[in-house]
Chains A and B, each alone.
Chain A
């Protein structure tokens, strides 16, 4: 079974600054996917960024980037130039890669990020 740990229940950052959210996971799988989801007060689950474990290059999406350390089983999210709209709960999630098989997401407990004006 997989586990995902987010050790920071709450974080805050000043607008325009950079913040890093941490995530570690435990798995015996060699092929898998990792995701960061954002949940604003509207409760909608929004995919922020994703990483395929077999790719060494860290994924980036505009102001969002990850630091993927496969050996350490670490998958942190860096948000640059933080904006007020980034205020949300952020979830780290793991999905096992298995051809034609279940697509269960295993989530961490979440980090509530507040961007301060």
Chain B
């Protein structure tokens, strides 16, 4: 079954304690990205990757890091979490595609992060 898997689904942590949220896809997609969802703001892109070892900032990258050492995995790293990073996080993947045509984004199940 084609899917994007995030772990953990729920996480409560304390300010300053490094954490990693994992994301893995089994569809051989080139493009992967992370979004955060906050009330009244919708989803905003944090970082994205167009292929292995190719990553770039999205709209809200401050306080986050990512890596893309393998095509299937795209972990999100919070080296020193702060309460303003309390949010719902989504990983997504899609084919890059060429020419005309929509490439659908597949989303993970979401990770609810609380930083106290």
Q: Does A107 contact B (CB under 8 A)?
A: yes
1/0 per residue B59-90: CB within 8 Å of A?
A: 00000000000000000000000000000101
Contact between chains at B31 and A102 (CB < 8 Å) = yes
B107 touches A109 (CB 8 A): no
User: Are the C-beta atoms of A102 and B42 separated by less than 8 Å?
Assistant: no
Check if B102 sits within 8 Å of A109, measured CB to CB.
no
Residues of A close to B94: CB separation below 8 A: 103
Residues in chain A near residue B44, CB distance under 8 A: 107
Selected contact of A91 from candidates B40, B42, B97, CB within 8 Å: B42
Q: Are A105 and B45 in contact (CB under 8 A)?
A: yes
CA distance A54 to B44 in the complex (A): 26
Question: What secondary structure prevails in chain A residues at the interface with B?
Answer: loop
Number of A-B pairs, beta carbon distance below 8 Å: 66
Q: Are B90 and A45 in contact (CB under 8 A)?
A: yes
Question: Which bracket fits the contact residues of A?
Answer: 20 to 34
Q: Is A47 among interface residues, defined by CB-CB distance under 8 A?
A: yes
CB contact under 8 A between A54 and B100, given known A104-B58, A109-B40? yes
- Asked if B105 CB lies within 8 Å of chain A CBs, one says yes
Nearest residue (CB) in A for B56 is A102
Contact A52 B90 (CB under 8 A): no
Interface centre among B33, B41, B102, B110 (most CB of A within 10 A): B102
The 8 A-B residue pairs whose C-beta atoms are closest, nearest first, are A107-B42, A45-B107, A43-B110, A107-B43, A109-B42, A103-B31, A33-B102, A103-B94
